[in-house]
Structure 1
Amino acid sequence: MPTNHNYMLIIGKNHLQNQNIVDIFNDHYKPIIVQDISKAIESLEANHSQIGIVMIDDSMDKDEIKDFLDFCLSKHLDVQIPMVFIDGTEDDELYNLVFSLKIDEVIRKPYNPNIFKARVLNLTALFSHKYRLQWLVDTQTKELRESIEVLNQMRLEVLESLGTLVEFRSIESGEHIYRVRFITELLMQEYQQCHPELDISNEMIHEIGMASILHDIGKISVSDTILNKPARLTEEEFNEMKKHTMYGCEIIKQFKGLYNEKTYQYYYDVIRSHHEKWDGKGYPDGLKKDEIPLWAQIVSVADIYDALTNTRVYKSAYHHSKAVKMIYDGECGMINPEVLDCFKNIENEVHQTAQALSGEKIESFQNEEENFVMHNLERERSYHRAYTELLSDCYFEYDSEYRTLQHYNILGRVGLEKYHEDMYRNVHPDDIDKLKQAINQTSSSNPTLKLYIRIRYGMQLAYMPCLVTIRTTWDIYTNKRIGGVGKIEIVRNN
């Protein structure tokens, strides 16, 4: 709150003049009277929060007046305390000097006491009002900044939650969105350094990094069976997958009110155009060269690099050196040469950042609640993998719609591929119908089956008798069989 300014600082060597001022303002201010500038400065420093006005008499030397007003200007006291100069010299040079040094009012001698009083009180009332308004503005600005910080943090949490939701639906790691964000910002910073003529601000870099979190948000609307298919997509499936850019645009439109127009455009462009290619062979719009927003090009490179260097449901991770060679050779589509040059400049830093944002290290970039959810999700996945690797039998998962099969443990170590596009590929031809019939006889209330069939096994891939146990899985809403998990045990005796 503003402080009550109860004191008047009177600076002058004319005792009669000083007393006259005290008498005029006796019912408004308590006087502090000084006769030299050093004392005036000391008094002002010690009591400036309580001084409501300063009176300077023409009995002071011109240089002294200048020194005092220079001090007030250096401490910005001229905007807090009104200054009045009482002049009877008619010295135009002195008159011009005090006005140039921000004196607020000049009272000419001889003066009418009532007019003098009215002019000074009007001046102090104006300053008091201005001071209070400034205090209110400062207070409300502080509160507004705090509110903006809270809203920005809430927005960040919403964005990260939406981005992480895509990763949770996929069997890929949820760390992907964090790596893409920080690689995007690194690449934007390098582009900023290489192209100062574009006037890329740090705020813009931050917003584009935030936008990258949602680059694949449209995958929420893509079927799980397509999203997690451990094999090459059919043309029809790939066309559906490509629609995630359009689905994402529809989703981000629902959040348009969270952003100003420019920031919203960053998000929209990144979501829609991060699969466009420099030669026009990308999707969804077939944009080429500078038709593709720069920020979408930057996010595209970050996304490509992270996808190459990390395991996906359909591929193993490539080493950094292999990944960057693929990018430079155009194996992932043509990239803007200027963006590619920037990526080359920070290639090692990108590699280090990606490594730092893997595993437990990423937790320093997440809040406590996200850490808890992410940690538990990854823990359950790792437990599942560990259990199947430690057990002596072969376990598998299959998808009913796409008839794909994923093996764990023994079969993967004896020559059979880990993923099958045909779940019946290694079943003896005479036993295929037997297996199909057994699966079709399961239900949501009786989902488990056991039967003996012959399966190709061993380094020679000879058919061997096996006991197969399958637990079918069902959609709780449609009661439709969607897949299953199973175990294969080799029969070692007759």
Structure 2
Amino acid sequence: MADRAILIVDDNEINRGILGEIFKDKYAVLEAGNGVEAMQIMDKQTDKLAAVLLDIVMPEMDGYQVLEAMVKKDNLNETIPVLMITADTSTEAERTSYQKGAADVIHKPFDPVIVDRRVARTVELYDHKKHLETQVDDQTRVLKKQFLYLKKQEERLRSSNEKVIDTIATIVEFRNMESSYHLKRIKGFVRILGLTAMNNFPELGLTPHTLEVITQASAMHDIGKISVPDSILLKPGRLSNEEFEVMKSHTTRGTEIIELLKDVQDKEFYEMSLDICRHHHERYDGGGYPDRLKGDENSIGAQLTAIADVYDALVSDRVYKSAYPLDKAYDMIKDGECGVFSQKILACFEFARPDMEKLVNDTKAMEEAEKLK
């Protein structure tokens, strides 16, 4: 313990001598005759001090003023315990000492045993506190490193999920003879509609995170079309009832394909992809397929993807039709010609119309530019 010091601050040399004798075998003893000297010593010996024994009544700078100065100096009294020395045995003296930040109070005349034990106990408590704070700091640093590592892992996994989704969805696009911008538009429409819903209908429960998951998962909505025969998928004319039943099966066949990817996808993305793939042809009045979900039985993610998919089908060229003008496509959806959507979803569609039409025009301009290359 000799490498640690006790600072005794008292204008009475005899008192300093008595206290010094108590601690000379345990600590290096430093002495100050007044508060000014005490602050000078603390400035130089801060790291070495185990405790400060501070007399209250002193010339130039009394004990309370020293304590106040320590508080102003980065709360020094919280790292170095201060025990006030006083002959005043009143409750008021003790209360004032504690209120100003003292750890304990020692009364004159000194009892060596009591003084020794009080100082030892106080130093031990402060040392234990410092040890705990150090442990907490160390653990906090470790946890922060682990958090950053997990965050990077999560970002890598999410990036991997998006690549898997986009790659598979792009394969379906090529087979379906759809524009390479179909996927970009679907995700763009879902994001635009979702942001509108989040800002205007908080009761739908959308958050920036859930919307991002929905947006990425929406790319998997038509994955099941990979199992539909070309004779049906690429038929330029109207489908027969039997052919339409096969086409409708892309919702359930798609979920089977997504289930095969369960082990390589994040759980949240997997579940959202599964839901959107199966239910993006459901309608609010129960007139959709395959489960004839009605009202809010269908998830917000599937509902957003449903209207985005219908809108893109209307404004895009397909093997069985030419693209409708934007005004016509908008009116067809609003008038219920493409199935029934919830009033909230239709309101979002109306609010988001300018941004959705801009996305259509921008992607078509890009397509035309590519054709000219």
TM-score, normalization by structure 2: 0.75
Residue 129 (structure 1) aligned with residue 135 (structure 2): yes
Aligned to 1:320: 326
Aligned to 1:244: 250
Aligned to 2:266: 259
> What SS class does the counterpart of residue 171 from structure 1 fall into?
coil
Q: Which amino acid aligns with 1:156?
A: E
Offset, 1:240: 0.8
> What SS class does the counterpart of residue 111 from structure 1 fall into?
helix
Q: 111, 122, 128: which is aligned to 2:116? A: 111
Offset, 1:338: 1.6
Aligned to 1:141: 147
Residue 91 (structure 1) aligned with residue 98 (structure 2): no
Please say if residues 50 and 123 of structure 2, whose CA atoms lie closer than 8 Å, have aligned partners that are also in contact: no
What do residues 5-30 of structure 1 show as CA deviations (whole Å, max 9, x unaligned)? xx999999659689x9999566xxxx
**Are residues 198 and 274 of structure 1, via their aligned partners in 2, closer, same or farther at CA, if it must alter by over 3 Å?**
closer
Counterparts of 1:45-444 in structure 2 under 5 Å? 58=54, 62=64, 65=67, 69=71, 72=74, 82=79, 84-88=81-85, 91-96=94-99, 98=101, 106=103, 109=106, 110-112=115-117, 118-257=124-263, 258-260=265-267, 263-358=269-364, 360=366
Please say if residues 9 and 51 of structure 1, whose CA atoms lie closer than 8 Å, have aligned partners that are also in contact: no
Please say if residues 11 and 35 of structure 1, whose CA atoms lie closer than 8 Å, have aligned partners that are also in contact: no
- Structure 2 unaligned blocks of 5 or more: 29-34, 56-61, 87-92, 107-114
Q: Which amino acid aligns with 1:86?
A: L
- The structure where helix makes up a greater share of residues is 2
**Are residues 10 and 222 of structure 1, via their aligned partners in 2, closer, same or farther at CA, if it must alter by over 3 Å?**
farther
Q: Which amino acid aligns with 1:94?
A: S
RCO comparison, higher one (Cα < 8 Å, 6+): 2
**Are residues 61 and 115 of structure 1, via their aligned partners in 2, closer, same or farther at CA, if it must alter by over 3 Å?**
closer
**Are residues 283 and 111 of structure 1, via their aligned partners in 2, closer, same or farther at CA, if it must alter by over 3 Å?**
same
Q: Which amino acid aligns with 2:330?
A: V
In 1: Cα distance, 2:24 partner to 2:129 partner: 17
Identity percentage of aligned residues: 29
Offset, 1:168: 1.8
Offset, 1:127: 2.6
Q: Which amino acid aligns with 1:259?
A: D
Please say if residues 183 and 354 of structure 1, whose CA atoms lie closer than 8 Å, have aligned partners that are also in contact: no
In 2: Cα distance, 1:282 partner to 1:126 partner: 62
Offset, 1:316: 0.9
Would you say how many aligned residue pairs link Structure 1 and Structure 2? 336
Offset, 1:174: 2.1
Please say if residues 179 and 306 of structure 1, whose CA atoms lie closer than 8 Å, have aligned partners that are also in contact: yes
In 2: Cα distance, 1:217 partner to 1:208 partner: 15
**Are residues 236 and 142 of structure 1, via their aligned partners in 2, closer, same or farther at CA, if it must alter by over 3 Å?**
same
Please say if residues 81 and 123 of structure 2, whose CA atoms lie closer than 8 Å, have aligned partners that are also in contact: no
> What SS class does the counterpart of residue 213 from structure 1 fall into?
helix
Q: Which amino acid aligns with 1:92?
A: R
> What SS class does the counterpart of residue 342 from structure 1 fall into?
helix
Q: Which amino acid aligns with 1:91?
A: E
Offset, 1:124: 3.1
In 1: Cα distance, 2:283 partner to 2:247 partner: 17
**Are residues 116 and 355 of structure 1, via their aligned partners in 2, closer, same or farther at CA, if it must alter by over 3 Å?**
same
Counterparts of 1:5-16 in structure 2 under 5 Å? none
> What SS class does the counterpart of residue 86 from structure 1 fall into?
strand
What do residues 313-364 of structure 1 show as CA deviations (whole Å, max 9, x unaligned)? 1111111111101111111111112210111112111111233344649xxx
- Structure 1 unaligned blocks of 5 or more: 1-6, 27-33, 45-49, 100-105, 362-377, 387-494
In 1: Cα distance, 2:345 partner to 2:70 partner: 58
Please say if residues 218 and 246 of structure 1, whose CA atoms lie closer than 8 Å, have aligned partners that are also in contact: yes
